[in-house]
Amino acid sequence: MSDNMENKTNTTPNEEIENENNQTQYSLNDDRRVKVLSPGAMVAKRFFRNRIAVVGLCILAFMFIFSFVGGLITPYKEDQKFQRIEIQNKEFAGVKENDDLKYLDAEGIERGRLNAEIGKKIRDKLADDSSDSASTTLKHNGVVYRITKEGTDFYTITDIKENKVIGIEYKDIISNSKDNSDFSYDFKFNALKAYSNQLSSFTADGKNYALADDGSIMVGDEEIGFISRYQINTVHADVFLSRAFKDELLVELEKAETDKSIDSFSFTDENGEKSIYTLEYKPATDEWIIYKGTPTNVFDTYSFPTKDHWLGTDRNGMDMLTRLMYGGRVSLVIGFIVEAIATILGIIMGGLAGYFGKWVDQLIMRIVDIFYCIPSTPLLIIIGAVMDANSTPNRLRMIFLMLILGFLGWPGMARLIRGQILSLREQEFMTATEAGGISVSRRIFKHLVPNVIPQIIVSVTMGVGGTIITEASLSFLGLGVRFPFASWGNIINDVNRFYVLTNYWFIWIPAGILLLLTVLAFNLVGDGLRDAFDPKMKR
Amino acid sequence: MGKYILKRLFLSVIIFFFVMLIVYALIRGLPSSFVENVARAKSQMPGSKSYDEWLKQLNAMYGLDKGIFAGYLSWLGQFFTGNFGDSWKYTVPVIQKFNEVVWISFIMGVITMVLELLISIPLGIIAATKQYSKTDYAISILALTFISLPTFFFIALLQLVFSVKLGWFEPFGLVGRYYSQMDGWHQFLDKAYHLVLPIVTLVIISIGGLMRYTRTNMLEVLNADYIRTARAKGVSEHKVIYYHAFRNTLIPLVTIVGGSLPGLFSGALFTETMFKINGIGYISYQCMIEGDIPFSMFYLAFLSILTLLGNLIADILYAVVDPRVRLA
């Protein structure tokens, strides 16, 4: 800006030289040539000499760029919510090596012939019977059963009287490779028999199946099931565990059993989804519990500053920096609109009171007295609560807020202008306007008010700062600008949650600093302007 | 003088009438869920009247069935006969609740004002006597910063630094955990300890304004002719400043301080709310947002009277302190 000033001082003599060349009769005298600065330029010069005021102006410039340009540059929207993927461990499956004989009713036999009671007896009998004999008998409830060993850990139970196989006892588990549906009894019987005798094929339900050494049951090249000593159960009925997953799981479990540091592994299923599985051993039941880490989308709330979000995210998962920019917009716009309303009303009322005096002055000044006496903060709180009760839409709320603040603000301005005009109207130039027959409204608003402009500018500058604080205070109480609109006040409002105060500095400290700096800057500039406008000032 | 005061008092009453009319009109917009709740509770008692009848009766009792102007007049009548009603939120007479909570606010206000005067007047004078020096700039910027401080943000900062990080003070409350087991002296100390942060807050946010006011007035006085005369006479600079100039600076200061005396009772809304101190500021805030009409009306009337009283005191003091001023 100082460059501008130098330019001005330089150009003025040049123009005068031109004037001299063209019209010598209008040449200026030396005494006029010294006077190169207009009153406005003098004020500007004094203002820019005041370093503190210039700092204030720079802060204000930054705030305007930050709020109005920043909102355009930022890649995010004002109320754009961000999500993050959070791994939530849910119990997924249990794995247990099957040590117990399981029983299965044969086809056509009423359910429950083989029950837990008889199963226990059979187990005891088999445990007692150390001899590796092919069959043994057992009496239960008056019925005699024959237990026939058909292979390793595989027995059939026959009711001797009826001479009928009523079920099987087995330890190896057959799983379906395709879905969770069960195989038929005949299939199971034959498959288990073949497996426990280490045969490579079997026939069931009239079809031929191949049985691999690892327990896979094949039809041609297609695996339809497999046999294993491990029992793997899912927690969710609708989840199907693939063979590949089961194999991988068993390998990992074996590793985990020897190496205690392994407690999780990742597995990519046939759909290409990768999940993290956590393993946990339960000694009480000799069981492994598998937890599946399910990636869940949650709102990215209170995340600390990162490269994507320079100031982190807020309670709703919105980008803090973007919120601050839009908040600045709201604060500045409200500040200016409120001051504009207050100033226009104040100029009109103050101008009328000052110029006309007498009963007009009395009336207006008593109204001013009433406004001065209204406790404004409680009143604004009540208005906020009333708007709450009527559930006023948030946009309308903002407009009401501006109107009310503006309406409460005019008496100060009116008083200032009236005071100035009272002293100005007695001066000669006003007598001249009266003598010249200029209309009253022109006299007031063209001749009196412009003379008060310095005071108005200073008062407006400081008033904007004050209004911003008032707005922020109301928004802080939750009675001013409301979510989804951002305002520095309602951003800081989150500090009412004590954990935000203690843990998340990035939520409220930046907003507070911006607010403080903005208000301070308005005050500094206002102060600087007051000094610059004051002709009595020393420098 | 007496005639002037009478005239001012008469004017004050008129202003009070209109201010409270505006306030009453707005307050009537608050939801009167209290009346509905009471009516519902009463109608559910055995053998009671219906809900509608109760609602009607209660509305009549609180003057809510009349239009705004008639309701206002009846409120005003009650107010001037000293009947302030019962607080809906606290279900005790308004005046009793008010008496319970106003004194802690008053104590805080008095301590704050004393500290404010002790800090800001000397600093303002120093800044004025050393105009355009580094000290002056430092004090002026400090004063402006304090004026610009958003109270709620400053309190949050204090709580973070002194309560959470340093652990010197408790973040909330007026009394500690073991208050009831202490003897009188320790109870007093406990309260004083809990009041440190609130009072620091109040002092910091209030000294800026008075500091600037003192500086401006001191500068004006220092530029006056009689100071030049005193200096020309050869009076020592110390005596010029602390005898001639200071006494004249006191005139506007006494006026403004006298005018703010009634304000000591008005409470500090943000400070009390954020430090959770049951003073008049906090309690009235609660009442206002929860639609406790009797308490809110009483509080706002009280505030208006305080303001009018403050203005009157300031004007009278102005004439009393400054012999050049005559009231007419």
How many CA atoms within 13 Å lie on the side-chain side of A436? 12
**What would the mean pLDDT of A372-396 be, rounded to a whole number?**
86
Distance in Å, alpha carbon of A16 to nearest chain B alpha carbon = 38
Which of B24, B14, B324, B327 has the alpha carbon at shortest distance from A362? B14
CB pairs under 8 A between A and B: 122
Residue of A370, A385, A389 with shortest CB distance to B18: A370
Q: Which two tokens stand for residue B14?
A: 């008129």
Angle between the N-to-C axes of helices B293-321 and B68-80, in degrees from 0 to 180, rounded to the nearest 10: 60
CB contact under 8 A, A386 and B26: yes
pLDDT at A32: 57
Q: How many DSSP H helices and E strands does chain B contain? A: 14, 0
The answer on pLDDT for B37 being more than 80 is no
CB A294 within 8 A of CB A276: no
CB A332 within 8 A of CB A63: yes
Domains in chain B: boundaries: 2-80, 96-321
The answer on pLDDT for A509 being more than 80 is yes
Angle between the N-to-C axes of helices A376-389 and B293-321, in degrees from 0 to 180, rounded to the nearest 10: 160
| SS3 assignment, position A21 | helix
Q: Which two tokens stand for residue A383?
A: 């208005």
- For residue B152, count other CB atoms closer than 10 A to its CB: 27
Q: How confident is the model at residue A1 (pLDDT cuts 50, 70, 90)?
A: very low
How would you class A320 by CB atoms within 10 Å of its CB: exposed for 0-12, middle for 13-18, buried for 19 or more?
Answer: buried
- Amino acid type, A220: G
Q: Please report the domains of chain A, with CATH numbers, ordered by start residue.
A: 47-82+309-537 (1.10.3720.10), 94-297 (no CATH)
Listed range (A470-484, B50-64, B128-142) with the worst mean pLDDT: B50-64
Handedness of CA B198, B201, B202, B207 (dihedral sign): positive
pLDDT at A58: 94
Find chain A residues with C-beta within 8 A of B147's C-beta: 523
pLDDT at A454: 86
Distance in Å, alpha carbon of A516 to nearest chain B alpha carbon = 6
* Residue predicted with more confidence, A288 or B213: B213
Convert the pLDDT of each residue in A215-258 to its tens digit: 778 877 777 787 877 777 777 766 777 777 777 777 777 777 77
Q: Which two tokens stand for residue A179?
A: 């879905």
CB contact under 8 A, A52 and B156: no
Q: Note the residue count of chain A.
A: 539
Instruction: State the average pLDDT for chain A.
Output: 80
CB contact under 8 A, A377 and B269: yes
Q: For chain A, positions 369-388, list CB contacts with chain B under 8 A.
A: 369-370, 372-375, 377-379, 381-386, 388
Q: Which two tokens stand for residue B145?
A: 């910063």
| CATH class of the region B96-321 | mainly alpha
- pTM reported for the whole predicted model: 0.76
Contacts with A469 (C-beta within 8 Å, 6 or more apart), sequence order: A515, A519, B148, B150
Q: Which two tokens stand for residue A109?
A: 């036999």
Distance in Å, alpha carbon of B273 to nearest chain A alpha carbon = 10
- Cα B103 from Cα B94, distance rounded (Å): 15
Distance in Å, alpha carbon of B144 to nearest chain A alpha carbon = 7
* Residue predicted with more confidence, A317 or A370: A370
Convert the pLDDT of each residue in B215-237 to its tens digit: 988 988 888 888 899 889 888 88
User: Long-range contacts made by residues A420-423, C-beta under 8 angstroms, separation at least 24?
Assistant: A420/A354, A420/A451, A420/A452, A420/A455, A421/A350, A421/A351, A421/A354, A421/A355, A421/A448, A421/A449, A421/A452, A422/A354, A422/A357
Q: How many DSSP H helices and E strands does chain A contain? A: 18, 15
Distance in Å, alpha carbon of B212 to nearest chain A alpha carbon = 11
**What would the mean pLDDT of B288-312 be, rounded to a whole number?**
88
Q: What is the ipTM of this complex?
A: 0.88
pLDDT at A35: 59
* Residue predicted with more confidence, B283 or A534: B283
Residue of A52, A364, A372, A382 best to disrupt the B interface, most CBs of B under 10 A: A382
CB contact under 8 A, A378 and B300: yes
Query: B286: nearest CA in chain A?
Result: A381
Strands (DSSP E) contained in A286-395 are: 287-299
Residue of A373, A492, A515 with shortest CB distance to B308: A373
pLDDT at A14: 47
- Cα B68 from Cα B86, distance rounded (Å): 20
**What would the mean pLDDT of A286-297 be, rounded to a whole number?**
78
